[in-house]
A and B are shown apart, each in its own frame.
Chain A
Amino acid sequence: AQTVTQSQPEMSVQEAETVTLSCTYDTSESNYYLFWYKQPPSRQMILVIRQEAYKQQNATENRFSVNFQKAAKSFSLKISDSQLGDTAMYFCAFMKHDGNFNKFYFGSGTKLNVKP
């Protein structure tokens, strides 16, 4: 079974600073996908960034980037130039493709507070 661990229940960062959210996972799969999702206080979960396990290059999306360490099974999210709108719950997720379906496994989440 796959497990996803987010060891930081809550973090704070000053506006304009950089913050890194940690995520580790456990799997015996060789081909899988990793995601960071954001859930603002309004609750709609949205995708922040994704990484295919077969790609060595770390994914980036504007101010968001990941540090993917496949051997260490680590997938951290770096948010640069933090903005007040980044305040949200962040969930790390692992996905494997299994025949007819995709199965997702989520971490317990990190609540990020961006302070003015």
Chain B
Amino acid sequence: DVKVTQSSRYLVKRTGEKVFLECVQDMDHENMFWYRQDPGLGLRLIYFSYDVKMKEKGDIPEGYSVSREKKERFSLILESASTNQTSMYLCASTSGGRNTEAFFGQGTRLTVV
């Protein structure tokens, strides 16, 4: 089975802290994504990566950065956490081919206090 694993299910951080969310996939997928999920807004793309060390901004990149040093790992970084970044964060991966689907991690519920 394809596995996408996020390092934490729940996190509580303080305003101003640097926060790392980690995601690992075991299917040798080229593409990896970070989404933010908020009620009524669906999933909004923060950043994605189509290869090692390659990254592209999504629709809401402000306040976030990413790192992809290895193919299987994609990290989301909140440089200075703020309360408006309290949300559910979902990681996903796909192959680079056309006929594919996205596989998701279990999500990280981040609360910034």
B30 in contact with A101 (CB, 8 Å): yes
A interface residues, how many (CB within 8 angstroms) = 27
B99 in contact with A109 (CB, 8 Å): no
A44 in contact with B104 (CB, 8 Å): yes
Chain-A contact segment, one of B14-22, B41-49, B66-74, B77-85: B41-49
- Measured between beta carbons, the chain B residues less than 8 angstroms from A6 are 42
Say whether, besides A45-B104, A100-B50, A101-B30, A33 and B42 are in contact (CB < 8 Å). Answer: no
> Which residue in chain A gives the minimum CB-CB distance to B106?
A44
Size class of the contact patch on chain B: 20 to 34
Cβ-Cβ contact count across A and B, 8 Å cutoff: 62
B interface secondary structure, majority: strand
Q: Is B33 an interface residue (CB 8 A)?
A: yes
A101 in contact with B99 (CB, 8 Å): no
Q: Digitize A82-110: 1 where CB-to-B-CB distance is under 8 Å, 0 elsewhere.
A: 00000000010101010011111011110
A43 in contact with B96 (CB, 8 Å): no
Q: Digitize A1-44: 1 where CB-to-B-CB distance is under 8 Å, 0 elsewhere.
A: 00010100100000000000000000000000101010000111
**Min distance, Cβ A97 to any Cβ of chain B, angstroms:** 5
A102 in contact with B104 (CB, 8 Å): no
A101 in contact with B96 (CB, 8 Å): yes
B42 in contact with A91 (CB, 8 Å): yes
- Measured between beta carbons, the chain B residues less than 8 angstroms from A109 are 42
Within 8 A of A (CB), among B81-98: 88, 90, 92, 94, 96, 98
Bound CA–CA A52/B96 (angstroms): 16
Show the binding face of A for B, using Cβ within 8 Å: 4, 6, 9, 33, 35, 37, 42-47, 50, 52, 91, 93, 95, 97, 100-104, 106-109
- What would be 13 A-B contacts, judged by CB atoms less than 8 Å apart? A44-B104, A45-B92, A45-B104, A45-B107, A47-B102, A91-B42, A101-B30, A101-B31, A101-B56, A102-B94, A104-B102, A106-B35, A108-B41
Known: A101-B48, A102-B96, A102-B102. 9 other contacts (CB 8 A): A33-B99, A42-B106, A44-B104, A46-B104, A50-B101, A93-B102, A100-B54, A104-B102, A107-B42
